A = this chain, B = another copy of it.
Amino acid sequence: MSCETETVKVLRDTGHKATPQRLMILAALRHADGHLTANDIYGQVQVAYPYVDISTVYRTLGVLKELRLVSETDMGSGDTTYEWVQQHGRHHHLICRTCDAVTSLDHQYLENLGAGILAESGFRPDLDHFAIFGVCAECQPRS
């Protein structure tokens, strides 16, 4: 089964409909290789179909987020980005609040955190994509 029809099946099985708008939004997310803002997606979809509404984009992203098909990340600076969730290659971001540099963080750290939380309380955290703010090595005050 192709990746596309697989997603459609997930939608239907959860009581959602596979509308053209949603398929276009899905395509935009899948073909992008990085983070996209809601506006990026809106722009891309408008090329094929100029009458979509931005609220449809947000509502679709909400559904996909709920189904854990996309991750939502607040990267600071007022832009929320969305990304197609891959099975492998999960990554997280360390964002320096002094110089705004973004570096990657291995998923293992959060995996450990998640396992600890689950063992203690039975709560299963979503750890698809985290943005952690702080101060990078370069920007730390010399002692």
Which residues of A line the B interface, CB within 8 A? 66, 74, 94, 96-97, 103, 105-106, 109-110, 112-113, 116-117, 120-127, 132-137, 140
Q: How many copies does the complex hold?
A: 2
A-B contact pairs, 10 of them (CB 8 A): A66-B97, A105-B121, A106-B120, A109-B117, A112-B112, A112-B113, A121-B137, A123-B135, A124-B135, A125-B134
Chain A interface mostly = mixed
Contact residues in B for A134 (Cβ distance below 8 Å): 117, 123-127
Contact (Cβ within 8 A) B97 A123 = no
Contact residues in B for A126 (Cβ distance below 8 Å): 97, 132-135
Contact residues in B for A117 (Cβ distance below 8 Å): 94, 105, 109, 132, 134
